[in-house]
């Protein structure tokens, strides 16, 4: 029994009365371009962290910017009372890069609001959900829900959280917690909430091949000069079958742990639809897969992907050269059982066998994560989303990766619940990223309900 | 017998006295960025053509800018006397694009002179040789060599001369000539002149594949979304074996006419060396070929080449996306017997079979050219180069393509001699393109000798 039972009328008024507050806070955060992958934005990261501290302080929390060997971590706390259970809410306030030429608005770091929709880089990943959780925590603190609520806002999530382990091993040891709430995941569709209990890991690799020092004339040298783009294309197409997605690197699938039958059943009950998946991501066509195969692929199978390639002339028209250099950016999504370092090693070994001149540099290793989808915290999440959105969540895995989740589980060794608010059409990592008041308002209500529920767990 | 025998002492003085004149003229031309492949340089093309007219007029010739449906052609003439034989000197005054970040000097369109070496885009291809020929013609005109000397300076050579046929069919019909001299080819090495009698043709193609409308999150979609870069890599590696260079497109080699035994012997006597070829083009390694195979490949075999590729993220670090689009720029060098349109058709048919979603757009078709390497004009070229440089030329073919050569042969139906002055290390189509006074001064002497010799041919 909660000492001060949740009053839905009061909560609804809070949500309605604080819409402008939420929007202005989100606008302020979005307009600081906290792009962690680009060193040119280092001062924006600091500005973003300072602003985050200010927002938490304004909301009535104690806040602090904690230095790490990389970007800072902002921590905060509402009503510290050691007799109460503690929940730590994790979000990240760094964002993906954004190419203005790809955005319809052309201004990814200018906040747009229109008919309850919020546009701008970071609106849905992950500033919007982070501020939604903060609004709920503020309500909980102001209305006597007996819970310590802490915030951990990271600024390196989009680059694989390289300094987060250091933060946990340092300042984090003085911050024990009974559970962790992470809000950085995506629903199946609007009206179909999801609570993922697993994440794929990640391993990047840069492949480079230099066969000369400068571009040379394709008439004068063509036939005798090597072509690094052609050779790179061969390497890629021997590493995987792009049409099916199947990797051809020996040993690639050896360590893959298959999901249990109960999980597969839960995946299939999730309401995933290939048609709405295709529409939400604006894809022209998909690989040939059934719905059943597709969810297994997305949530429990590794991938081999080329996320960028360059070489030679890219301007208008023709330039009759043989290029000197080609570069391919590889990323592999990993599933439970797979070891990132081993995957780089398998890739390097195979690439060297195909073409010894290709240099393979591993980057951003991250293991997959697998948690639980039963127990009192899962029950609390189910009740919370039903309360906030009128629909129970599907317990699924998620195809993406959040490095901090693994680290927090290891260091704090406590239940961890991922209750995200993003929708597929919000454009995670895409041009025209957006978030909306429907998800924010329902999210505030869900989180308050969740806090009420977990305050009862002893 | 020439009416006014060539006086070597007078010619040497002319060359020495006019070095600054040559350098200043070349500087002025280089500093107008006449890049024909980029529409943004359209006004520079007009400025370049006006300057070219001015230079010819200043040298004592009559000059005129002739409009075409594309870029203009500049024509000029020294001492028109219909009783004398006429030679038409062809050069082109448009240049390849230049990426300043790839140039050591960072300023491709700023003329550099240092120790008799001239740096800048267009110095060797083809403004330098063009002005060298102009200097020789000026001497011939001033010293009574009984020859009409005409100039045809094109401004669309680097984009395959799309309007040159139109020029020849129009104004060109009123410009009959006894022979054509083209100076736009490359020697075997310094001290080893070459007179090519054949050129490879060219066929470009743009391959594009769009599987989505924007980049999507590789965690959320990876495994189900198609990857256009991976699929493009497969297309490329099924079209050719990049390590050997051998095309795998069915029918690719069907129409290739092999060179005659006499030609192959001449190729092998040319002095071509793999070692100096590799050094001149600053290549790290070459395809595995003997010297004999290499010259056959360069001068008499077709190629399949990828001169540019792009897709996905190209910035620093990792961006965990599946891209929406990939693009590959293909160019094929063609040899006698091959039909450009047929080659696009073979390529398109094969690519569609591999991947029906790849769009193939043919561009810049150009047939190969094969002339003669014996007769009085070849003899004149041999004597001329021996006179100017102390070494007889090798009669070879050239791996590059000059569309105007085919057109001129067809329209004027007369002997055509290619007496170039560029060296492999001059960096044709490359960053840090350069030319030098050694080639220019020897070139002026050679051309004057050539004019004296061909004035005698009746």
- Report pLDDT digits (tens) over A134-192: 999 999 999 999 999 999 999 999 988 999 999 999 999 999 999 999 999 999 999 99
- Comparing alpha-carbon positions, the chain A residue that sits nearest to B399 is A219
Do A61 and A185 lie in one domain? The reply is yes
Domain-located, residue A3: no
State how far the Cα of A270 lies from the Cα of A299, in Å rounded to an integer. Answer: 12
Q: Is the dihedral of CA A320, A322, A324, A325 positive or negative?
A: positive
User: What is the SS3 assignment for A344?
Assistant: helix
State how far the Cα of A190 lies from the Cα of A439, in Å rounded to an integer. Answer: 9
Residue A409: how many CA atoms within 13 Å on its side-chain side?
A: 19
Per residue in B256-287, pLDDT tens? 999 999 999 999 999 999 999 999 999 999 99
State how far the Cα of A286 lies from the Cα of A243, in Å rounded to an integer. Answer: 10
Q: Write the residue in B234, B311, B320 that is nearest to A309 by C-beta.
A: B311
8 Å CB contact of B37 and A329: no
8 Å CB contact of A38 and B312: no
Domain-located, residue B248: yes
Domain-located, residue A430: yes
User: What is the SS3 assignment for B309?
Assistant: strand
- Comparing alpha-carbon positions, the chain B residue that sits nearest to A212 is B283
User: What is the SS3 assignment for A35?
Assistant: strand
Domain-located, residue A432: yes
User: What is the SS3 assignment for A66?
Assistant: strand
pLDDT at site A2 = 45
- Which strands, in side-by-side order, build the sheet including B201-210? A359-366, A201-210, A325-334, A305-312, B305-312, B325-334, B201-210, B359-366
Do B331 and B429 lie in one domain? The reply is no
**Contact by Cβ (8 Å): A426, A187:** no
8 Å CB contact of A399 and B285: no
Do B331 and B448 lie in one domain? The reply is no
8 Å CB contact of B430 and A215: yes
The pair of structure tokens assigned to A198 is 């697993």
Do A437 and A360 lie in one domain? The reply is no
- Write out chain B residues lying below 8 Å of A218, CB-based: 303, 305, 307, 331, 333, 429
Q: How confident is the model at residue B319 (pLDDT cuts 50, 70, 90)?
A: confident
- Write out chain A residues lying below 8 Å of B287, CB-based: 223-226
- Which strands, in side-by-side order, build the sheet including B434-436? B112-114, B117-119, B434-436
Q: Indicate if the pLDDT at residue B228 is higher than 50.
A: yes
State how far the Cα of B405 lies from the Cα of B417, in Å rounded to an integer. Answer: 10
The pair of structure tokens assigned to A102 is 């790809």
Per residue in A215-256, pLDDT tens? 999 999 999 999 999 999 999 999 999 999 999 999 999 999
Distances in Å between the Cα of B140 and the Cα atoms of A145, B58, B77, B93, B145 are 101, 16, 12, 22, 5
pLDDT at site A458 = 80
8 Å CB contact of B231 and A242: yes
B contact test, residue of A96, A184, A233 with most B CBs within 10 A: A233
Q: What is the CATH number of the domain that holds B158?
A: 3.40.630.10
Do A359 and A434 lie in one domain? The reply is no
Cis peptide upstream of residue A455 (ω within 30 degrees of 0)? no
Q: Which residues contact A314 (CB under 8 A, 6 or more apart)?
A: B308, B310
State how far the Cα of A234 lies from the Cα of A109, in Å rounded to an integer. Answer: 39
Q: Is B275 left (phi over 0), alpha (psi -120 to 50) or beta?
A: alpha
- Comparing alpha-carbon positions, the chain A residue that sits nearest to B239 is A230
A contact test, residue of B42, B253, B306, B400 with most A CBs within 10 A: B306
Q: What is the DSSP string of B152-216?
A: EEES-GGGT-TTHHHHHHTGGGG---SEEEE---B-SBTTB-EEEEEE-EEEEEEEEEESBSS-E
Q: Indicate if the pLDDT at residue B1 is higher than 60.
A: no
Do A243 and A388 lie in one domain? The reply is no
User: What is the SS3 assignment for A390?
Assistant: coil
Distances in Å between the Cα of B265 and the Cα atoms of A71, B215, B258, B291 are 67, 55, 13, 13
Domain-located, residue A408: yes
pLDDT at site A4 = 60
pLDDT at site A334 = 97
State how far the Cα of B250 lies from the Cα of A433, in Å rounded to an integer. Answer: 45
Domain boundaries, position B332: 201-256+301-366
Q: Which of B57, B87, B88, B85 is nearest to B167 (CA)?
A: B88
Domain count, chain B: 2
Question: For each of chain A's 458 residues, which pLDDT tens digit applies?
Answer: 445 678 999 999 999 999 999 999 999 999 999 999 999 999 999 999 999 999 999 999 999 999 999 999 999 999 778 899 999 999 999 999 999 998 998 899 999 999 999 999 999 999 999 999 999 999 999 999 999 999 999 999 998 899 999 999 999 999 999 999 999 999 999 999 999 999 999 999 999 999 999 999 999 999 999 999 999 999 999 999 999 999 999 999 999 999 999 999 999 999 999 999 999 999 999 999 999 999 999 999 999 999 999 999 998 888 889 999 999 999 999 999 999 999 999 999 999 999 999 999 999 898 999 998 899 999 999 999 999 999 999 999 999 988 899 999 999 999 999 999 999 999 988 899 999 999 999 999 999 999 999 999 98
What are the b/e assignments for A256-275, b being 16+ CB within 10 Å?
Answer: eeebeeebbebbeebbbeee
Q: What is the CATH number of the domain that holds B214?
A: 3.30.70.360
Nearest CA distance, B123 vs chain A (angstrom): 15
State how far the Cα of B314 lies from the Cα of B325, in Å rounded to an integer. Answer: 13
Percentage of chain B beyond pLDDT 90 is 91
Write down the mean pLDDT value for chain A. Answer: 95
Do A206 and A123 lie in one domain? The reply is no
Domain-located, residue B142: yes
Q: What is the DSSP letter of A427?
A: -
Do A80 and A34 lie in one domain? The reply is yes
Nearest CA distance, B7 vs chain A (angstrom): 37
Q: How confident is the model at residue B349 (pLDDT cuts 50, 70, 90)?
A: very high
Do A95 and A14 lie in one domain? The reply is yes
Q: Beta B194-199 vs B394-398: how paired, if at all?
A: parallel
Domain-located, residue A285: no
Write down the mean pLDDT value for chain B. Answer: 95
State how far the Cα of B56 lies from the Cα of A363, in Å rounded to an integer. Answer: 59
Angle, helix B437-454 to helix B128-142, in steps of 10 degrees: 50
Bridge partners of B240?
B247
Domain-located, residue A273: yes
Do B28 and B38 lie in one domain? The reply is yes
Do A113 and A90 lie in one domain? The reply is yes
State how far the Cα of A36 lies from the Cα of A158, in Å rounded to an integer. Answer: 7
- Write out chain A residues lying below 8 Å of B329, CB-based: 312-313, 318-319
Q: Beta A246-247 vs A240-241: how paired, if at all?
A: antiparallel
**Contact by Cβ (8 Å): A223, B301:** yes
Residue ending a domain, choose from A266, A299, A332: A299
Q: From the CB of residue A89, how many other CB atoms can be counted at a distance below 10 Å?
A: 25
Per residue in A10-33, pLDDT tens? 999 999 999 999 999 999 999 999
Q: Indicate if the pLDDT at residue B357 is higher than 70.
A: yes
- Which strands, in side-by-side order, build the sheet including B179-182? B62-66, B73-78, B148-154, B86-92, B179-182, B416-418
Average pLDDT over residues B306-318: 93
Do B36 and B159 lie in one domain? The reply is yes
pLDDT at site A1 = 43
């Amino acid at each position: 029994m909660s000492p001060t039972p949740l009053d839905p009328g009061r909560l609804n008024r809070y949500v309605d009365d604080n819409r402008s507050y939420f929007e202005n806070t989100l606008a302020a955060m979005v307009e600081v371009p906290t792009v962690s992958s680009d060193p040119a934005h280092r001062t924006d990261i600091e500005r973003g962290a300072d602003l985050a501290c200010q927002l938490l302080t304004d909301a009535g929390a104690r806040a602090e910017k904690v230095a790490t060997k990389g970007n800072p971590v902002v921590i905060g706390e509402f009503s510290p009372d050691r007799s109460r259970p503690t929940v730590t809410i994790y979000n990240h306030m760094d964002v993906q890069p954004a190419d203005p030429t790809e955005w319809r608005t052309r201004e990814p770091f200018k906040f747009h609001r229109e008919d309850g929709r919020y546009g701008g880089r970071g609106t849905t990943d992950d500033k919007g959900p982070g501020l939604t959780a903060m609004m709920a925590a503020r309500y909980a603190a102001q209305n006597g829900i007996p819970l310590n609520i802490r915030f951990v806002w990271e600024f390196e999530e989009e680059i694989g959280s390289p300094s987060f382990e250091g933060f946990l091993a340092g300042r984090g040891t003085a911050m024990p917690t009974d559970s962790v709430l992470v809000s950085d995941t995506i629903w199946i569709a609007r009206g179909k909430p999801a609570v993922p209990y697993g994440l794929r890991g990640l391993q990047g690799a840069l492949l480079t091949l230099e066969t000369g020092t400068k571009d040379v004339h394709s008439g004068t040298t063509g036939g005798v000069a090597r072509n690094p783009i052609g050779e790179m294309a061969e390497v890629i197409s021997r590493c995987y079958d792009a049409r099916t997605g199947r990797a051809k690197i020996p040993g690639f699938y050896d360590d893959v742990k298959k999901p249990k039958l109960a999980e597969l059943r839960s995946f299939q009950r999730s309401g995933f639809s290939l048609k709405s998946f295709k529409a939400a991501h604006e894809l022209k066509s998909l690989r040939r897969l059934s719905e059943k195969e597709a969810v297994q692929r997305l949530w429990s199978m590794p991938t081999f992907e080329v996320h960028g390639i360059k070489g030679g002339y890219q301007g208008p028209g023709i330039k009759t050269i043989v290029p000197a250099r080609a570069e391919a950016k590889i990323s592999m999504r990993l599933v439970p059982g797979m070891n990132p370092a081993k995957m780089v090693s398998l890739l390097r070994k195979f690439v060297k066998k195909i073409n010894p001149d290709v240099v393979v540099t591993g980057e951003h290793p991250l293991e997959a994560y697998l948690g639980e989808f039963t127990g009192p915290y899962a029950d609390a999440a189910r009740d919370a989303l039903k309360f906030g959105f009128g629909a129970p969540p599907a317990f699924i895995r998620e195809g993406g990766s959040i490095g901090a989740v693994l680290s927090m589980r290891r260091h704090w060794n406590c239940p961890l619940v991922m209750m995200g608010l993003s929708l597929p059409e919000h454009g995670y990592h895409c041009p025209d990223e957006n978030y909306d008041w429907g998800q924010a308002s329902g999210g505030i209500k869900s989180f308050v309900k969740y806090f009420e529920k977990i305050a009862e767990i002893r």
